[in-house]
Structure 1
Amino acid sequence: MKNGIWFILAAMSLTPALDGVAKEMSLTYAPIFICFTRYLSAGLVSLAAARLRGERLRVERAGLGGQLLSAALMMGAMTSFIMALSMVPMAEAVGGFLIAPIVSTALSVIFLGERLTRTRVIGSLLSILGAVIIMDPGMGLEQGTLLALAGGAMLGGFYTVSRAHRAASGTFAPLALQSLMGAAMIAPLALAEGVPAIDATYLCWAALLGVLSAMCHLLTILAFRLSEATVLAPFTYFNVIAAVAVGIVFFGEIPGEATLSGLVALVAGGLITAAGPGQVSALLARLDVLRPTPVSVRVRVPVSVPAR
């Protein structure tokens, strides 16, 4: 399996916990302030990790435009998502983000010249189908749904920009720079309504949000450095599988037939994409060989001619 796939699977497995923390905080704090908290704390966590690894936080003029664009897309996507969480159910908000891999794939083919093979198309379509079956997002265009769709489009753009800047030096330093830039962009809006009480509860939520966010974004960036967006697209829906698993383990939610069908489609889409066209063709050929060959048997029936 391609290296980037492991990273995207790990990143997507963290998103249900990240979304749950943001949803819980939205009961007490304004969505825009939660987003500011998320990226400020993620930036500080990444900055501390960069210092421990000896990475220097440098803003190079040549790559400044790409870093600003990446930070703006990341911040816009997450702000839209957190605001959507406060307006619509989580399934509907996550459902809007299902367009992110589609946008990323299209942009990567157009601007980065990535190849879109038949197996990647089939894998992506199967994964999209499975995610839609499981999430069952509503068809109404509420304000929260539109925000989620806009956030999904911006997240797809962030994936593409991350792929385009895969040669960036360092691991934690670029993430710290992006997160702190994003926090600075949104700070005026977040602080305009006043600062809530900074107590022990808020600090615990902020620390948890920062650690989870930093880990999720770091794994995503590494994934898109190592593998093409068209390869990773089906695996960005793994967060849906993780959400179903969390429901089973912690809440005793037994999936129904529709959910199981969606899971099968998701797994099939990922396996087809990971295997590649050569392995899929070989597997189909092997299955064709194993198919029983019809055997024709000639039976001679003696015919008795009556005597005259």
Structure 2
Amino acid sequence: MFKALLIMLVAMSFIPAGDAASKILTSQLGVAPVFVVWTRFLIGGLALLPFTWRAGVSVWRDWRVWVRAGIIGLGISCITRALSMAPIADVFGAFFIAPIISYVLSVWLLKERASVVQASLVVIGFVGVLLIVRPGFEASPGLGWAVLAGCCYGSFLTLSRWLAGQVALGGLMFTQMFGAAALTTPFVFGQFPEFTPQIAALTLCSAAGSMIGNVLMLFAYRMQEASKLAPFVYFQLISAVAFGWLVFGEFPTLLTVVGMALIIGAGIAVAALQLRRPVTARA
């Protein structure tokens, strides 16, 4: 368990690191967000190609993997736009509406079991998101993009659950990367920046951070049950605060910290309930 936990914590640090590189590219160097998104998927897909191409080719005609690829492409586009406009910790906090959306869609569409306690914890997590976004008070367009990104990612997680028993993991990874890259290609023409060593390095860091983080997370999930590792996904919020402070000199407001605490607490409590549920209760 300790090894899987360590891998998970490292994975949850790589993902915000990649987003920090994206934020520098878009907010400080003037790189178009769509270029960052396109290179992120293309570079990640090329790196994983030797391990996933066989499975990917076998499912390429399945329309559902294209829908999934389109949703994750839209989600990453939205969060990249959000990072160019708002502090990284606030963006990650608003983005964590994703587990709430996934929970609601899974209960509604996949007919997964729900309880009053779980529903109450989801509401608490939603209150945490509202404290971060503060709609109608101090809301910023950047946080609106972050919420939209979270909604996309929550839908992506539900689709992934739906396809998990029907499409091989390699096929999902292949279509996720190349499908999203293909769908964003028409929008990247005319958006290429003037390449400098700094832009090239940060582009690679953005793509590598996301890819390495997600691959390490999959390794951790192969070593331990997902329900046992689920609470540690929220370490991304802590990593985002750390990167925001160290790289950008940003520190979240008190309301944002309280909102994050509610999100993390509710997420851990939901995971704890999943651990206590008997295995036979799962269909």
Higher Cα Rg: structure 1 or 2?
A: 1
Partner of 2:33: 31
* Whole-angstrom CA distance in 2 between matches of 1:101 and 1:241: 17
Is the contact between residue 105 and residue 158 of structure 2 (CA under 8 Å) also seen in structure 1? yes
Aligned length: 269
Partner of 2:64: 66
> Over residues 110-138 of structure 1, what are the superposed CA-to-partner deviations in whole Å (9 max), with x where a residue is unaligned?
111111124433443444445655x4656
TM-score normalised by structure 1 residue count: 0.69
Q: 1:257 to 1:72 in 2, by over 3 A?
A: closer
* Whole-angstrom CA distance in 2 between matches of 1:155 and 1:142: 20
Cα shift at 1:74: 0.5
Q: 1:265 to 1:212 in 2, by over 3 A?
A: same
Is the contact between residue 91 and residue 136 of structure 1 (CA under 8 Å) also seen in structure 2? no
Structure 2 residue matching 1:58: 3-state secondary structure = helix
**Is 1:201 paired with 2:198?**
yes
* Whole-angstrom CA distance in 2 between matches of 1:90 and 1:73: 22
* Whole-angstrom CA distance in 2 between matches of 1:144 and 1:254: 16
Partner of 2:272: 275
Residues 88-103 of structure 1 aligned to structure 2 (within 5 Å)? 88-103=86-101
Residues 76-115 of structure 1 aligned to structure 2 (within 5 Å)? 76-115=74-113
Cα shift at 1:44: 1.2
Structure 2 residue corresponding to 1:213, chosen from 191, 200, 210: 210
* Whole-angstrom CA distance in 2 between matches of 1:148 and 1:104: 16
Structure 2 residue corresponding to 1:41, chosen from 32, 40, 43: 43
Q: 1:210 to 1:248 in 2, by over 3 A?
A: closer
* Whole-angstrom CA distance in 1 between matches of 2:214 and 2:148: 19
Q: 1:181 to 1:122 in 2, by over 3 A?
A: same
Partner of 1:22: 22
Is the contact between residue 118 and residue 277 of structure 1 (CA under 8 Å) also seen in structure 2? no
Is the contact between residue 247 and residue 253 of structure 1 (CA under 8 Å) also seen in structure 2? yes
Q: Over the residues paired in the alignment, what is the CA RMSD in angstroms?
A: 4.0
* Whole-angstrom CA distance in 1 between matches of 2:236 and 2:215: 16
Structure 2 residue matching 1:181: 3-state secondary structure = helix
Structure 2 residue matching 1:165: 3-state secondary structure = helix
Percent identity, aligned pairs only? 28
* Whole-angstrom CA distance in 2 between matches of 1:196 and 1:79: 17
Q: Larger % of helix: which?
A: 2
Q: 1:123 to 1:15 in 2, by over 3 A?
A: farther
Is the contact between residue 11 and residue 216 of structure 2 (CA under 8 Å) also seen in structure 1? yes
* Whole-angstrom CA distance in 1 between matches of 2:140 and 2:133: 15
Structure 2: segments with no counterpart, 5+ residues: 278-283
Structure 1: segments with no counterpart, 5+ residues: 281-308
Cα shift at 1:40: 0.8
Partner of 2:147: 149
Is the contact between residue 76 and residue 151 of structure 1 (CA under 8 Å) also seen in structure 2? yes
